[in-house]
Chains A and B, each alone.
Chain A
Amino acid sequence: GAVVSQHPSRVICKSGTSVKIECRSLDFQATTMFWYRQFPKQSLMLMATSNEGSKATYEQGVEKDKFLINHASLTLSTLTVTSAHPEDSSFYICSATQGEGYTFGSGTRLTVV
């Protein structure tokens, strides 16, 4: 079946630095990728939707300058958390689709200290 690889699985960074999270579809071309964030004991909240070669569409309340999304190819999307702060500590999950279903990555636990 379809597989989405997400790296790193966990990362600890210092406040003020930037962190890049990669999401790759391994055996299919993802027309659309979604980025979600989950705080402890809460739901998965969509941050943005990205289509290959075009700018990402951000959900209301998500800072596009802080959470940079690049979808350079049909198999790779990256999320960069810029100038990270402790409140950005969360679980980030990507999802990819080729129009026939949704495949999720394994998630990235980001801790900002």
Chain B
Amino acid sequence: DQQVKQNSPSLSVQEGRISILNCDYTNSMFDYFLWYKKYPAEGPTFLISISSIKDKNEDGRFTVFLNKSAKHLSLHIVPSQPGDSAVYFCAASVDFGNEKLTFGTGTRLTIIP
């Protein structure tokens, strides 16, 4: 039972354009969502998070949007840079910092120079 899904396994975006990565979840108990960037054979690197009381959080080039009614969140990266090429995972928790993270299936983002 995949509670967190990323339906696009891969995405290619031109450098300078906006990258939009999507994530859907089924567990209505999730109240905290995070995005991670990951390279092969390395641990995930935290990018940005959002709690369920918000619908948007912004940090530099990264913005996360949360639509609770649709159980959907998205990560926007603008402008996209070649160094953004990696696999991106969304993750969710029912209790931030105290409970386990449930990860999505990942989206491989490729930025085309």
Contact = CB atoms under 8 A, between A and B. Distances in A.
Interface of A: 4, 6, 9-10, 31-32, 34, 36, 41-46, 49, 91, 93, 95, 97-102, 104-107, 109
Specify the main secondary structure of chain B where it touches its partner.
Answer: loop
Interface of B: 34, 36, 41-46, 89, 96-98, 100-106
In the A-B complex, the 8 residue pairs with the closest CB atoms: A104-B43, A99-B97, A44-B103, A106-B43, A43-B103, A107-B43, A43-B105, A97-B97
B41 A107 contact: yes
Contacts of B41: 9-10, 91, 107, 109
Contacts of A42: 105-106
Nearest to B104: A43
Contact of B101 (A4, A34, A99): A34
The interface centre, meaning the residue of A6, A45, A101 with most chain B CB atoms within 10 A of its CB, is: A101
Nearest to A31: B98
A45 to B, nearest CB: 8
